Structure 1
Amino acid sequence: MPINIIIADDDALIRESLKIIFDLDERFHVVHVAHHGKEAYDICKKEAVDVALLDVRMPILNGVEATAKIVSETMVKVLILTTFDEDDYIKNAFLNGASGYLLKNNPPEQIKNAVLAVQGGNAVVQDVVMEKIKNPPNKNPKEDRLNALTTREKEVVVLIAKGLTNKEIAEKLFISEGTVKNTVSNVLSKLALKHRTQIAIYYLED
């Protein structure tokens, strides 16, 4: 028996192109094409659907929201097929139960193979998407910059934030004032700041 699929995309050209691709392959049967996530969800509730191909950005109910409802209320498996590879979309799609995340720039055969894999109970994650999952971008640039400082530089930053002068810092850490000045220069460079007062503000800000 062919795999019953629905295609949900707010772009009519994409919808119809995908429908033609799948209709030409006897392994698949396109039950319906939907204009938005709500329509896709309604179809999954009423029709015998095996796999839903959902775009992410759609009106009324987007692909991630539709995934949550479809997966929680039906036996339909969801494959996200989109042009968007933003981290939040990827993370939330899988958190909401998607079985795969694929970009539309893949060749038709690869998209069809992804549907077959999802129907077979496998997860499908494109390489570029997997890289984003494994190596998420830094969400806290400030923390990343502070972590780049050496132990000595961090000590100096803390003491500057407490209002100590170079001489006081030197006495506190048992180092010369020249070493303190050089350390402060390094900190300014690494934190992309211009003067020591900014160091204190940078460190104390949330």
Structure 2
Amino acid sequence: MIEQIRVIITDDNSFVREGMKIILNSYEEFNVLATFQNGKEAVDYCMENEVDVALLDIRMPVMDGVEATKVLTENSTAKPLILTTFDDDDYILEAIQNGAKGYLLKNNDPEQIRDAIKMVHKGQNVMQNIVLDKIKLNLIKKTEALKINKALFTDREIGVMELVAKGFSNREISKELYISEGTVANYISTILSKANLKHRTKIAIYYLTGKAE
């Protein structure tokens, strides 16, 4: 009997979630253990069960794929594999830094999805060239435009700074990034400390001008 790869699927879109389950169940080498609608549910499950590969969407409520990837990498044996769209460039970079073993587009052919999961299970990284090229181009554009000291901050912190500069409240930022308001507050406190700023208004000025005063 073939040894099956134990997989979980996490996506807040039920159509994507159930569609992926049908695809994977059509292959005898996979055992889809469960499906979830947010990262916290996936993390909780992996803490109690043996999972080989965790398929994770990026943008989800409660806990997104970036945070879930970090927790799973540090606290479980599950290998995170990101499901992405072309709009997720910033999140993908941070997910990879957090330990994601690769990423694939949601519109891939079933055979490509199957092969990607098998490669990740074997310890290999999966990075599609079409997505990688787009991320590189996006990084180049942002690097040229930003005036802040980028070495001080993570990609997510820079993303929070950008939204603060646009006038977003903590609640609006939490909705935009699919993280809790408490997490937003923690990011802002970290940014203030790193840049030696006294209040959030200064964050906007710093982000736009590169000057702390």
* Cα pair distance change 1:122/1:142, threshold 3 Å: closer
TM-score (norm 1): 0.66
Q: Do the aligned partners of residues 142 and 33 (structure 1) sit closer, same or farther apart at CA in structure 2, a change above 3 Å counting?
A: closer
Shift of 1:62: 0.2
**Correspondence 1:49 to 2:80:** no
- The SS at the match of 2:141 is coil
Name the CA distance, whole Å, in 2 between partners of 1:64 and 1:97: 9
How many residues in Structure 1 have an aligned counterpart in Structure 2? 145
1:15-26 to structure 2, matched below 5 A, reads 15-26=17-28
SS in 2 for 1:138: helix
Q: Flag as ranges the 4+ runs of structure 1 deviating above 4 A.
A: none
> Which of 131, 137, 141 in structure 1 is aligned with 2:145?
141
CA displacement at 1:137 relative to structure 2: 3.0
Unaligned runs of at least 5 residues, structure 2: 148-208
Deviation by residue 1:120-144 (Cα, 9 ceiling, x = unmatched): 110000112221354423223388x
After superposition, the Cα gap between the structure-2 partners of 1:142 and 1:30, relative to the gap in structure 1 and judged at 3 Å, is closer
| Contact 1:83-1:104 at 8 Å conserved across structures | yes
Deviations, residues 63-92 of structure 1 (Å, cap 9, x unaligned): 011000011000110100122443311210
Letter in 2 for 1:132: K
Aligned to 2:132: 130
Larger Rg: 1
Letter of the 2:34 partner, please give it.
Answer: H
* Counterpart Cα distance in 1 of 2:53 and 2:109: 19
1:27-53 deviation per Cα after TM superposition (whole angstroms, max 9, x unaligned): 000000001000010111111110000
Looking at structure 2, the residues matched to 10 and 68 of structure 1 have their Cα atoms a distance apart, in angstroms, of 19
Measured in 2, the distance between the counterparts of 1:62 and 1:141 equals 27
Amino acid at match of 1:141: A
The one-letter code of the counterpart of 1:5 is V
Q: 5 Å matches for 1:19-34?
A: 19-34=21-36
Name the TM-score, length of structure 2 as normaliser.
0.64
CA contact (8 A) 1:56 1:82 kept: yes
- Please say if residues 58 and 88 of structure 2, whose CA atoms lie closer than 8 Å, have aligned partners that are also in contact: no
Which residue of structure 2 lines up, in the alignment, with residue 36 of structure 1?
Answer: 38
Name the Cα RMSD after superposition: 1.7
Corresponding letter in the other structure for 2:141: N
If asked which structure has higher relative contact order (CA below 8 Å, sep 6+), I would say 2
Residue aligned with 2:61, SS? coil
Q: 1:56 & 1:90 partners in 2: Cα distance?
A: 8
Tell me if the contact between 1:90 and 1:129 (Cα under 8 Å) persists in the aligned partners.
no
